Structure 1
């Protein structure tokens, strides 16, 4: 039987029938809002997106979205402090268009990275994480510099397993640990230098979405075309898209590039 928005709405409402939650359906936006009754904080789910995933993976997709909603609401309803949680602080990369305010209205802390990306900071809570805001910082009397140093140190402790594919004499390195920090590994200078030392051509990197880092040793024009197509495909499919532009890594710097078909890339002038 074909899944419809009304059927999906009913399923989610039944699965989220906690006495502390309230749900609101918007026919106009084809979405379901789930929030805490007391605080009115919550999440809005686009039903067509869930139906698409359901058609591909069945009940598993519903289980995942219910777990995601429940965990998100739990995080919203708790107060957190950074002191004593130092080992759980990590950097996360987001697009420059990513909101700098949490839904609560609190200012998120971040650092500029490239013309396409910014670095935010997350407090890892196991199944999910919470982006660190200025209120959390002030509560413990911390500074952005302290958080950045701690997060950078913790990033280096992560495993850096990868798979390599060679296409048209170009080596592509895929980092997809699925731990929430795959794209963040782009900030690990020693990792970049390690891959660069193996490279015979130009080292490029891409973070199309949160859950993948692609590095590529590009040795010919075909390699750039492949990289551009691959990055765009991952960008379109990602749960948290970051940027469809890859970077060239040289002189310890990342520079966004436009890849022109059959040509060497041009650096972005931003």
Structure 2
């Protein structure tokens, strides 16, 4: 399937009477604008085509669902059906993630590590929208208040996990499918509680937004396993964050670089 064929297929479900299509050949992105609310989203074509090679029609169904849910959320927001006070969460992104929206508005962010940055999102049910300075101005809310609300919300998330043992090392997988699994790295009380379970080195990985992996690394093989595991999750994630892991010591996160088999280099984060 090629880009133009994909667009033709989308038009059979997402009708042109409702959506305006604008395909940029140079960037290989499709701009979809909902005519009634005059808001749009950009869709990168290559990842969809790549998924189509293996998932066929399911890949089309998934993108249509995502687009539909996103615009429904925008309609709710326009109608004032969302309460910002109880619907703001932090989300973890790579430091290479854009700092401004497509409209040129600065996103609300906070520094985290050399590899990660905190953004803030308005939860809209099946999706969310990253907060920018224009939205805060409309709400007449300060950035500090948004950060406090978001941190409170992430502390209230359920923290179920699955446990696995590999070569004598223990790994805890947080995958609650709520969109905020990586955000749990900001829950200090959770990290302190997990630290009590750890016998060896405590590592934390957020390879993509929908998983956080806490490792109890008890031997050198554990670091090799960790490197392979995080790279796998990083490559398959819908929103990749970082393939690096962190050692959690005394409340601090130290990135670890696994250079070769059984060789680990730690680099202290700058304060």
Give the TM-score of the pair, scaled to structure 2. Answer: 0.89
Shift of 1:20: 3.3
CA distance in 2, matches of 1:134, 1:82: 20
For residues 191-227 of structure 1, give each alpha carbon's deviation from its aligned partner in whole angstroms, at most 9, with x where no partner exists: 1111110100010001111111011011111111111
| Matching of residue 157 in structure 1 with residue 141 in structure 2 | no
Match of 2:32 among 13, 29, 34: 34
Q: Can you give the 5+ residue segments of structure 1 that lack an aligned partner in the other structure?
A: none
Q: Judging changes above 3 Å, is the alpha-carbon distance between structure 1 residues 44 and 102 closer, same or farther for their aligned structure 2 residues?
A: closer
| Secondary structure of the structure 2 residue equivalent to 1:260 | strand
Q: Judging changes above 3 Å, is the alpha-carbon distance between structure 1 residues 83 and 127 closer, same or farther for their aligned structure 2 residues?
A: closer
Instruction: Tell me the residue number matched to 1:267.
Output: 267
Pairing 1:201-212 to 2, within 5 Å after superposition: 201-212=200-211
Q: Judging changes above 3 Å, is the alpha-carbon distance between structure 1 residues 136 and 32 closer, same or farther for their aligned structure 2 residues?
A: closer
Instruction: Tell me the residue number matched to 1:224.
Output: 223
Superposition RMSD in Å: 2.3
Pairing 1:19-98 to 2, within 5 Å after superposition: 19-27=17-25, 29-37=27-35, 41-75=39-73, 78-79=77-78, 84-98=83-97
Pairs aligned (count): 268
CA distance in 2, matches of 1:237, 1:44: 21
**8 Å CA contact retained: 2:205, 2:244:** yes
| Secondary structure of the structure 1 residue equivalent to 2:263 | coil
Give the TM-score of the pair, scaled to structure 1. Answer: 0.90
**8 Å CA contact retained: 1:80, 1:136:** no
**8 Å CA contact retained: 1:174, 1:213:** yes
For residues 125-159 of structure 1, give each alpha carbon's deviation from its aligned partner in whole angstroms, at most 9, with x where no partner exists: 10111111112222233222211111111111111
Q: Judging changes above 3 Å, is the alpha-carbon distance between structure 1 residues 82 and 115 closer, same or farther for their aligned structure 2 residues?
A: farther
Q: Can you give the 5+ residue segments of structure 2 that lack an aligned partner in the other structure?
A: none
Instruction: Tell me the residue number matched to 2:232.
Output: 233
Pairing 1:183-222 to 2, within 5 Å after superposition: 183-222=182-221
For residues 212-251 of structure 1, give each alpha carbon's deviation from its aligned partner in whole angstroms, at most 9, with x where no partner exists: 1011011111111111111111111111111111001001
